[in-house]
Amino acid sequence: CFVCGKSGATITCRETGCNRSFHLPCAVEGECVTQFFGLYRSFCWEHRPEQTVEAAPEKDTTCLICLDPVEDRKSYGTMVCPACKQAWFHRGCIQIQAMHIGFLCFCCPQCQNEYRFLMEMLTMGIRIPKRRPSWEEDGAYAQLYERHRRCDARECLCPGGREHTEDEGCWQLLLCCSCAAEGTHRGCSSLGNSTASWECDSC
């Protein structure tokens, strides 16, 4: 390995004529780039791809993710969004964000550009796992996707109870048209069949 000097380096620079090899864990220290898509090509520090976007950070520019200062130019460790050219961040910071966000939602932290940003980061060696965001795993936010299903009138008149609902008629459940966090049966709030929407007292 040209980085640590130990044996067992199985990754070789893809550039024709370059025989530099390295361990995957040594890649960051050696400023190498491995592209985690397509042919999974790897490049040493001399032949790695570089961002072609014409941009330079203003004085005292900070990383959008960790808020620590970035270098005064593009480099291996300092990257910029190719779309807005305003979002600067550390390679390590955007890599951590990519691992949490995943392929489906990965975008520029500032301008929200998806395609150009994602393709640039892949080309520059940022690994983006093909999965949903980590905070959506194990149904952590499953309740946010559940529709409110209860009559919240002060006195529920429905013989089937507060959670009983019908497709039409006086026991049809209407949700607040503003917050959708409260509901009422038509009959419990004296709403006729012609009433299309209802708003709770809070809203």
Task: Quote the pLDDT of residue 141.
Answer: 67
How far is the C-alpha of 63 from the C-alpha of 69, rounded, in Å?
6
Q: Tell me which DSSP letter residue 166 carries.
A: B
Calculate ∠ Cα 111-76-58, nearest 5°. 50
Per-residue model confidence as pLDDT tens for the chain (203 residues):
999 999 999 999 999 999 999 999 999 999 999 999 999 999 999 999 999 999 999 999 999 999 999 999 999 999 999 999 999 999 999 999 999 999 989 999 999 999 999 999 999 999 999 988 887 776 666 777 788 999 999 999 999 999 999 998 899 999 999 998 899 999 999 998 888 889 999 89
- Region of residue 60 (left: phi > 0; alpha: psi -120 to 50; beta: else): left
Name 198's bridge partners: 176
pTM > 0.85: yes or no: no
**Which spans in 106-149 are helix H?**
115-123
**Which spans in 25-146 are helix H?**
91-101, 115-123
Domains of the chain in start order, with CATH, are: 1-49 (no CATH), 53-146 (no CATH), 147-202 (3.30.40.10)
How far is the C-alpha of 12 from the C-alpha of 121, rounded, in Å?
21
Task: Quote the pLDDT of residue 140.
Answer: 65
Number of C-beta neighbours around residue 64 at 10 A: 19
Contact assessment for residue 88 and residue 53, using Cβ atoms and an 8 Å cutoff = no
